[in-house]
Amino acid sequence: MGTVELTAQTAWLAEAIRQATQTDLAALEWEGAFIHFRRVYARAFQRAQLGDALLWVVERAPGFLIAQLFVLLKSEKEPAVADGRQRAFIHSFRVRPEFRSRGLGSGLLKHAELDLLERGFRWAYLHVADENTAAVRFYERSGYRRVFPVPGDWSYEDHLGMERHVHEPGWRMRKSLTEE
């Protein structure tokens, strides 16, 4: 696997990527834009504390997160994409719009992939919505291949305790972490 080329614009990135802490949970809501995911983030953090997930963040200034990428290492519900040994599932990957197209997303994704490889994982999976054509192109440029279409129906409990249903038809994508 090649290394990420850091430009003057992204040279700070190597030091800015870190695993999320409990104090980051509020910052993951991005000033309320993602408040509805508060409980989702809390559960992801609990899984990370148990060793079943990783929550990567990029902090530009103290308390100001500009990107995030979560990795589910082990899933009891879907071991085909996250078995705790060879397959991991990337989700909740976002970069603030004003920081896109600067290599930040590529650097964060590469960082997560290299970490997975060091942990012995061979495959990274993810789901991308059909309507997010920019993300589909980004993942394909990053070496991910479409495996099969997925209905994309899921639900979660929002910050008010209400169940929300999401319909995001898209693609299951996969990348071998061991191939150049």
Structure confidence at residue 117 (pLDDT): 97
Structure confidence at residue 16 (pLDDT): 85
Residue 126 forms part of a structural domain: yes
Taking only the tens place, the pLDDT of each residue in 129-156 is 999 999 999 999 999 999 999 999 999 9
Taking only the tens place, the pLDDT of each residue in 19-34 is 999 999 999 999 999 9
SS (H, E, C) the chain: CCCCCCCCCCCCHHHHEEECCHHHCCHHHCCCCCHHHHHHHHHHHHHHHCCCEEEEEEEEECCEEEEEEEEECECCCCCCCCECCCEEEEEEEEECHHHCCCCHHHHHHHHHHHHHHHCCCCEEEEEEECCCHHHHHHHHHCCCEEEEEECCEEEEECCCCCEEEEECCEEEEEEECCCC
- Work out how many domains the chain is built from and give that number: 1
Structure confidence at residue 135 (pLDDT): 95
pLDDT(5) > 80 = no
115-124 in b/e form (b: 16+ CB < 10 A) is bbeeeebebb
Structure confidence at residue 3 (pLDDT): 40
Distances from the Cα of 56 to the Cα of 38, 86, 128, 154, 162, angstroms = 16, 19, 19, 23, 27
Taking only the tens place, the pLDDT of each residue in 37-87 is 999 999 999 999 999 999 999 999 888 999 999 999 999 889 899 999 999
Domain extent, residue 75, equals 13-176
Residue 5 forms part of a structural domain: no
Averaged pLDDT for residues 115-119: 97
Structure confidence at residue 2 (pLDDT): 39
Query: What CATH number should be reported for the domain holding residue 54?
Result: 3.40.630.30
pLDDT(4) > 80 = no
Mean residue pLDDT of the chain comes to 92
Per-residue confidence at 13, pLDDT binned at 50, 70, 90?
Answer: confident
